[in-house]
Amino acid sequence: MTQVEPAMPPPASDRDETLSGMLCVDTSGNPRIPLLMEMVAALSRASEPKEVLRIFSQKIEGLFGLHGYVSISTRGLKPGQYKITRFMHQDESSLLGESNPWNDWEKLPIHTGGFFGEIVRTAYPELIHNLSVKDDTVLGNALESYRSLMAIPLFDNGEPLNWAIFLREEPDGFTVQELEQAILRSNLIGNTVKNVLIAKQLRQANQRIRAEVEHVADIQRALLPNPLPKIPGLQIATSYETFDQAGGDHYDFRPLCELPDGSGPDPEGMWSILIADASGHGPAAAVVVAMLHAILHAYPHQPDSAAAMLNHANSHLAAKRIESSFVTAFLGVYDPKTKRLTYARAGHNPPLLKNPGSGGEVLRLEAVGGVPLGVEDQSHYEDATIELKTGQTLVLYTDGITEARNSDGEMFGVEGIERALEECTGQLDCVVKSITEPLGRHQKDNQPDDDQTVVAMQIL
């Protein structure tokens, strides 16, 4: 086994001023303390159970002059059965080669009987002097060079499921005091192995969960229109930032009319314009907005109005009983021929209509409203209509922007968007930047706690 150079204690002169008047016992002559410190430091960095046992077996030899170490497990086996999971000699050779018991558990042979069979038969520590094991039915002569042994049961949830066995070549190599210490020390190391294994399993589970969440996020992003559609009489720009991998914000543009020959959607006809925000964050919110997307795209016929589409979506979401989840939404039906926008709102922030030019008035479209989708199955939404004019810009957004806080806890608010738009020309690149840049300055180092989406449409 490898002898590790012990770390030296700090010079006494470095501590004299701080510890003046106190009596500090000089431990610099004790070689075991640096070894113990090295062992616990190395164990704190271990990320694999095998690494824990390697560190333990190496350091314990430096502390106590061991010549061999064996670990045995009865976990999941029938009474009288056991597996030898580690067998290390002083020269670091292993009876089991490079086997990793956590990865190769099924490959390890199951044993019964023999010398170790007697050891594990009871849950009591053993201290043996004048050890003599030859021609063993399981071990053969693997223990022939060892003359003394300590066997320590390692408990897991009150059950002795593993054993640590220490070997020396001297016939009376261990004392009762060493046995007492080894019972505590070995069980603490056993718990360390268990905790490291649990931590590894948690890391692996988190990696799988994160991969699944990323997959959900990919699906959600695939539902966003890309590239943005070319709607006659409109120019469109968007900004979409998710709080986590998967988000609960959504926007969509969909042609509502068919070509006269039935060959496909009519781009010159009416379009639905949607922005929505599911409650909460992450995969659950992403699934809810995906449901809304599917419900609206499966609308059974050409819609009569924006309110009719929201009524349809609400009845389906409410029927699904999505518990505490709900969706706020703004849905408009835009007619490129007349520049007329018919809209309905379900608990969503009112869109803003920016008149052209710097200093142009900013209006809130809040003539109608309603509760979020999925809250009440009997909710009924109403339409409002506005005729848009050339040069105006319609701005849709989610509450991740209005509720963004600065270091003093103040929200950006609808007023923050309005102030930004008043100073903007109304051109799309100006609109998006005039919102996102002041928003960034407002938040500064504060981490956003919600998804943030802006959809801007300028009337040509």
The reported pLDDT for the residue numbered 237 is: 93
CB crowding 37-70: b at 16 or more within 10 Å, else e: ebbeebbeebebbbebbbbbbbbbbbebebbbbb
The H or E element spanning position 239 is strand 234-241
Which residue positions in the chain have pLDDT lower than 70? 1-21, 32, 49-50, 52-66, 90-102, 190, 245, 323-324
DSSP state of 450: S
Return the pLDDT at 345: 96
Residue 302 per-residue DSSP state: S
Does the predicted model carry a pTM greater than 0.85? Answer: no
- 209-245 per-position pLDDT tens digit: 788 778 777 887 888 888 999 999 999 999 998 877 6
pLDDT for 1: 44
Give the amino acid at 21: G
Q: Which architecture characterizes domain 12-17+26-200 according to CATH?
A: 2-Layer Sandwich (3.30)
Residue 50's pLDDT is what?
Answer: 65
The 3 state secondary structure assigned to 178-212 is HHHHHHHHHHHHHHHHHHHHHHHHHHHHHHHHHHH
pLDDT reported for residue 38 = 75
Cα angle 214-218-223, degrees, rounded to a multiple of 5: 145
What local confidence, expressed as pLDDT, does residue 247 receive? 77
**Nearest-angstrom CA–CA distance, 403 and 414:** 9
Give me the pLDDT at residue 283, please: 81
Nearest-CA neighbor of 438 among 424, 450, 426?
Answer: 424
The fold for domain 224-459 equals: Phosphatase 2c; domain 1 (3.60.40)
- pLDDT for 11 equals 54
Counting Cβ atoms within 10 Å, is residue 326 exposed (0-12), middle (13-18) or buried (19+)?
A: buried
The domain ranges of the chain are 12-17+26-200, 224-459
Q: What is the pLDDT of residue 235?
A: 93
